[in-house]
Amino acid sequence: MKIDLADVIVTSPDRNFVTLKLTTSDGHVGLGDATVNGRELAVVSYLSDHVVPLLIGSDPMRIEDTWQFLYRSAYWRRGPITMAAIAAVDMALWDIKGKAAGMPVYQLLGGASRTGLLAYGHASGKELPELLDSVQEHIELGYRAIRIQSGVPNLKSIYGIASQGADHGDAELRYDHEPARRGEKPVEEDWDTRAYLTHLPGIFEAVRGEFGATLPLLHDAHHRLTPIQAARLGKDLEPYDLFWLEDCTPAENQEALRLVRQHTTTPLAIGEVFNTVWDFKDLIRDQLIDYVRGAVTHMGGITALKKTLEYAAMYQVKSGMHGPTDISPVGMAAAMHLGLAIHNFGIQEYMPHGARTDQVFQQTFTWREGLLHPGDELGLGVSLNVDEAGRYPYERAYLPYNRLADGTVHDW
């Protein structure tokens, strides 16, 4: 069997997605997700100009060898664009291997370690009543774990608040499901760490007061704090028993987490913007985190994230794979197959994709009683309707960015 065709497909049904489609000489099709939100065309070029010519004629069964070849032969290693491109190839090859073997991918990875994947959804509100309603809605939707994001007094617009979609002129779009805005320039938002740190503990107190002590609650600080601010937040949230505090500091400085860890027992999750095991290595070895947020799409594929999670398992660190809507249905399927198979699964982030996206990508996963399951179709279980994809050409879109009151650019 040889790889005959490699197509890079860009489609923008509800948002931009980059998908690699490999077709083999005996007719198997494999799909891989290569979406990097706001930088999609860079991955398109990396794949089309540099990777596709290397794949044509090669053996699709050699997943590990292809990964090592693409990673090492480029000489220039790591980075979000390179690793998303490698991830797409890797996913597509697992998809093909599953179809050729007559098995869903999770069977190739060792088989199911559980009946389904605990998933968390996003509750949010500009004000407390909107947030409490949103938590209730998520409970009714079947979520057994819920992320809590709240507006902050005097800040117009911040990451993670669903109803801000309407403020940005698109009532159909939940802002937390799609913070990237179509347009020529990124939207500017505002930030005030002091106001946030003062406000948030009261929000968690109110949520616990309304919904009780047992519901697992999560929160995303989205890289905006210094280590000592993050340490204070972790301590202040201890009475509310969080499942995790996510991305409390910018992810580049691994050492920052040591300071946070020394001060708080609030569990820590990090790594949605990480690309390789090297970004996680010290954090895992020194047990500075509890959950690995890496996505299959951004960590170089199933092959690489599986190894990272096996290393994490030695330190009782669990998976918490990134699953916003900018991970395509193909990337989500890969996450579900991997999460079902590994022993140290923790939780899966899950936001449903929009209706147009579901027309472009036919999915076979199930969502029952708060648990996801990738289904038992061969391979990853996702197919792509190329004609439907063609109806939605790429549209330039950027993630927002933050400025402080004095105009300084701040982490978003």
Instruction: List Cβ neighbours of 327 (8 Å cut-off, separation of 6 or more).
Output: 33, 35, 295, 296, 297, 335
Of the ranges 29-37, 219-227, 257-265, 397-405, which one interacts with Mg ion (CB under 5 A)? Answer: 219-227
Name the minimum Å distance from CB 68 to ligand KDG: 28
Side chain identity, residue 170: D
Q: In the numeric block, which tokens belong to residue 257?
A: 């987490």
- Which sign, positive or negative, has the C-alpha torsion 400, 404, 408, 412? negative
Distance CA 273, CA 252 (A): 9
Judged by beta carbon, residue 66 or residue 275, the one nearer ligand KDG is: 275
Judged by beta carbon, residue 324 or residue 352, the one nearer ligand KDG is: 324
Name the minimum Å distance from CB 335 to ligand KDG: 12
Count of beta carbons in the 10 Å neighbourhood of residue 295? 27
Among 220, 279, 290, 377, binds Mg ion (CB under 5 A): 220
Distance CA 37, CA 18 (A): 10
Name the minimum Å distance from CB 230 to ligand KDG: 15
Judged by beta carbon, residue 220 or residue 279, the one nearer Mg ion is: 220
CA 318, chain centre distance (Å): 15
Which residue among 177, 222, 337, 353 is the active-site one?
Answer: 222
Name the minimum Å distance from CB 100 to ligand KDG: 32
Site string for Mg ion, 302-341 (x = CB under 5 A): ----------------------------------------
Q: CB–CB of 82/109 below 8 Å?
A: no
Q: Find residue 20's DSSP bridge partners.
A: 8, 32
Distance CA 178, CA 14 (A): 9
Distance CA 374, CA 278 (A): 28
Judged by beta carbon, residue 8 or residue 158, the one nearer ligand KDG is: 158
Name the minimum Å distance from CB 40 to ligand KDG: 11
Judged by beta carbon, residue 6 or residue 131, the one nearer Mg ion is: 131
> What Rg, from alpha-carbon coordinates, does the chain have?
21
- DSSP letter at 191 equals -
Judged by beta carbon, residue 40 or residue 220, the one nearer Mg ion is: 220
- Helical ranges in 102-246 per DSSP H: 105-108, 128-140, 164-167, 193-211, 227-237
Q: How far apart are the first and last CA of the chain?
A: 46
**How is the beta sheet containing 29-33 ordered, strand by strand?**
3-11, 17-24, 29-33
Judged by beta carbon, residue 38 or residue 375, the one nearer ligand KDG is: 38
Distance CA 339, CA 309 (A): 10
159 is catalytic: yes
> Is 33 an interacting residue with respect to Mg ion (CB under 5 A)?
no
Of the ranges 62-70, 212-220, 257-265, 331-339, which one interacts with Mg ion (CB under 5 A)? Answer: 212-220
Of the ranges 83-91, 151-159, 160-168, 264-272, which one interacts with Mg ion (CB under 5 A)? Answer: 264-272
Name the minimum Å distance from CB 293 to Mg ion: 7
Cα 396 to Cα 15, 188, 366, 391, 393, distances in angstroms: 10, 16, 32, 16, 10
Binding site for ligand KDG (CB under 6 A): 37, 179, 220, 222, 272, 322, 324, 326, 349, 399
Q: Indicate the burial class of 265 (C-beta count within 10 angstroms; 0-12, 13-18, 19 or more).
A: exposed
222 is catalytic: yes
Of the ranges 37-45, 79-87, 272-280, 294-302, which one interacts with Mg ion (CB under 5 A)? Answer: 272-280
Q: Look at residue 163 and give the partner it binds from Mg ion, ligand KDG, none, a contact being a CB closer than 5 to 8 Å depending on partner kind.
A: none
Name the minimum Å distance from CB 127 to ligand KDG: 22
Which residue among 106, 120, 143, 159 is the active-site one?
Answer: 159
Of the ranges 169-177, 197-205, 216-224, 330-338, which one interacts with Mg ion (CB under 5 A)? Answer: 216-224
| Residues that are catalytic | 159, 222
Where does this chain bind Mg ion (CB under 5 A)?
A: 220, 272
